[in-house]
Structure 1
Amino acid sequence: MMTELEKMLSGQSYNPMDKTLIKMRFDARILLETFNQTSVRKLGARKKLLKNLFGSTGKDLYIEPTFNCDYGSNIHVGNHFYANFNCVILDVAEVRIGDNCFIAPQVGIYTATHPIDPVERAKGIESAKPVNIGNNCWIGGNAVINPGVSLGNNVVVGAGAVVTKSFGDNVVIAGNPAKVIKRV
């Protein structure tokens, strides 16, 4: 029989109130609390906290506080990653972000999803779909990347975009829902 963590990571419906998941979220929140309160004068300490939080990181990792996530361990970022103020990554499933990616302020990247049926939703179960973002991507301010989305390499997401489906390489996308507005 699968644990709730195994169900969560495999995309199946799971109970987020499982004691193991609650502890994992609590531990992440403690690291985030420390990170978000660490002085800009202590960049090395901030970087170390993020490396302890994330599943994997490349070189030159920098995130402006405040930053929030669910678990941290399901976030994998490549080399030269930058996220501006108030980034939220709900990493119930894996979030993989390539090299040379930049995230503007107020961006949300979400893997968690809930049943559409109100009776099922009221039971408190969740599921998740991974998010993948290629190399050399720039996500504009207040953009939202929804569960299950994959973005190719060299994608620019316009400010305020709501990305509900996947896009290939070399495009600028914008709008709600996001659509291709230019090829790069």
Structure 2
Amino acid sequence: MTRFSAWKQPTFNRQNLTQWNWMCQHRKNFKLGKNSDIGAFTYINARFGVEIEADVQIGSHCSIYSHNTIDNTKGKVIIKQGAKIGSHTVILPGVLIGKNALIGAHSLVKNDVKDNAVMAGVPVKEIK
């Protein structure tokens, strides 16, 4: 038996919280792939679209924004299959994170990340 043998889509309450204590606003623009895991206290703003493909792991306390009200940037965020995002990471609008990419904890992602890249920092830089 694997960890995700009984994986199901999350359910949301009226405050947009899941049973695992992460939040998504504008859920109609949010897609979550099978076997993906989002840590507690993560915030997702999907106003302009957030797509998380299968087998993605996102740590706790992350923030994913498809709209930034400070400078009014907007754009769909895509996290490709198998990517791993460390806890407390912030992903800004319009970013594509490539297949099997690894983002270190406490990072800021403001530009696209290529497949299989290992990135960390504020802003992220390739470390491998």
> Structure 2-normalised TM-score?
0.83
Say whether the 8 Å CA contact 2:16–2:25 is kept in structure 1.
no
1:32 match: secondary structure = coil
Determine whether 1:132 maps to 2:75.
no
Instruction: Return the letter of the residue paired with 1:78.
Output: G
Structure 1 residues 88-143: Cα deviation after superposition (integer angstroms, max 9, x where no partner): 00111111111100111101100112364xxxxxxxxx562110110001100000
Which structure has more helix as a fraction of its residues?
A: 1
Say whether the 8 Å CA contact 2:73–2:93 is kept in structure 1.
no
Say whether the 8 Å CA contact 1:102–1:139 is kept in structure 2.
yes
1:89 match: secondary structure = strand
Structure 2 Cα separation of the partners of residues 180 and 156 of structure 1: 10
Equivalenced residues, count: 117
Percent identity (aligned) = 27
Residue 177 to residue 127, structure 1, CA distance change in 2 (3 Å)? closer
Q: Rg bigger for which structure? A: 1
Name stretches of at least 5 consecutive residues in structure 1 with no aligned partner. 1-27, 37-63, 117-125
Instruction: Return the letter of the residue paired with 2:54.
Output: D
Structure 1 Cα separation of the partners of residues 70 and 98 of structure 2: 28
> Structure 1-normalised TM-score?
0.59
